[in-house]
Structure 1
Amino acid sequence: MQAQNHSIKSWAKDDRPREKLLSKSPMQLSDAELIALLLNHGNKEKTALDMARELLQLGQNNLFELGKLSVFELMKVKGIGKAKAVTIAAAMELAKRRQLSQAVELKAITGSRDVAAFLQQQFGDYRHEVFIVLFLNRANKIKHKEIISSGGLTGTVADPRIIMRKAIEQDAVALILCHNHPSGNLHPSKADEELTRKIREAALLLDIRVLDHLIVSQDGYFSFADEGLI
């Protein structure tokens, strides 16, 4: 009977997501129930839980894939307007930042694998290319990370002067350059190699080391240092 009733308020109290969270724990709720709480309410045709299930289906029943969807893609689900879509997108971004905030404080770099895992976790679902710099202290811990430039589907340009200025501001002694390839192609272009050379030469003048330049995608990574290109 509950499946035919479009108001969650009419459900048994123990079945309502909000009451379930209050009386038990957020861990006891399904992904759909948690999303339903973000949606707050449904409409005349569907409950918030119905909409949440459809959103999950749109994301291939995978929260990671759901987090990749834009506001306008989320609005493809009937009943999901701009306000609801923005709420879901904001929640997904907060979840990502929560997971990564501790990693930035604690992550000590020991090799390209560490950096690649860190970057894939943070930027692997970007659909456009971004150029990121990790600013390291003397203990090889990440002091700061920043997207230096953001481009389109096929490329982005990073200004060495901006990178050097920020390195000085952060009192960094080493840098790791990184950018993603949404296409999945991990082979560096001539432009990638030339940019790496320019940044490395500029850093040397300030006694700052460029430890590596990584290209990452969801499926793997390419390390300039591992390949003897830096």
Structure 2
Amino acid sequence: MRVVSSLLIAAVSLVAITGCAASQAAPSTPTESTAASPTATSTPAPEPASDPVADPADPSTWLVDAEGVGPVRLGMTLDEAVAAMPGYAVSTCPNPAVRFLDAVDAAGASLAIAAGNDGGIVLVSVWDTDGPATAEAIRIGSTVANAKTAYPGLVPSQKYTDRYTLEDTPGYITFATQDVNAGDGAPIHTISVVTGGLPPSELCG
């Protein structure tokens, strides 16, 4: 599978993902915890919906925002996310809360998704494509300097790679380089949207 090894060392552990070891983040960096356990309310929460304009076969139509990447949205179940990506090959690993999705043609993308303890997706990562973009046109292949200009509030951190995180609700968006100490001219290699924290360094351990 393409670039899976880079993803698996992308950042710090996320406690809400089954099988991932927890670790601590410095006070100046985004927290690693995912959203708190749902609080009972009198009104059921709405079902997460795919980005209505996102074509699974065309990553250039995918929006990256605080709710997910293209058709895959935070809060979906793994089965819902897989169903939203027809034509993608699905693979697994020892962690049953993780799925990898790979396009069967060069026009597609590679994604990793992971569910939390409640079964809802808490992480979506994408690489191997320059199609998906944020509302400010930051995408894989944009430079760190581009991302900093578009989002002055990015919080930097390091764990095997350089990461720049935009805190938002429900998910944080993290732009990661392929190497550590890569500098502002380095291209963004992976983009992750994570519920209330940073992407994990290990998904399958």
**TM-score normalised per structure 2:** 0.27
Higher relative contact order (CA 8 A, sep 6+): 2
**TM-score normalised per structure 1:** 0.25
- Higher share of residues assigned helix: 1
- Higher share of residues assigned strand: 2
